[in-house]
Structure 1
Amino acid sequence: MPPRYRYEEIADDLRQRIDAGEFPPGSRLPSRRELTVQYEVTEPVIDRAMQILRVLGVTETLAGVGVFVRDDAPSGS
């Protein structure tokens, strides 16, 4: 199994937390700054993780407001 990038691990962790109900549909995810501290990574790493979640249809970004869990987000299970 090839090594995984840190941003992939973070995206997976956030996805699991969303699926577990920690971040229910419509809720706002922590800010980029909060996530960099929590995961001990740089902002570009968080940006890539957020991009994965957005492409998968799990989140949507409202410019200047934040990243939110979509009401119709597909389940990761």
Structure 2
Amino acid sequence: MDKENLNIGDIVTGKVNEDLESAFTGTVEKVYENSALVTITDFDAVDKANVSELNNKIVVNLKQLKAAKTK
């Protein structure tokens, strides 16, 4: 995802193999040069302990984020 297309409050999906086993959905809290701070709002049950350990927040490389499909 391009930095220019990402705004605070956007809903995104992402996958971070280092910290979480499955993909997650979250809200962008802050945009950095090559990454974004995301508050995790929806995730797979297998990642519950890891999400809790991360305090429901994660910094993700912009290349690993996509805009979430809206219903």
Q: Which interval holds the TM-score relative to the shorter structure?
A: under 0.3
- Structure richer in strand, relative to its length: 2
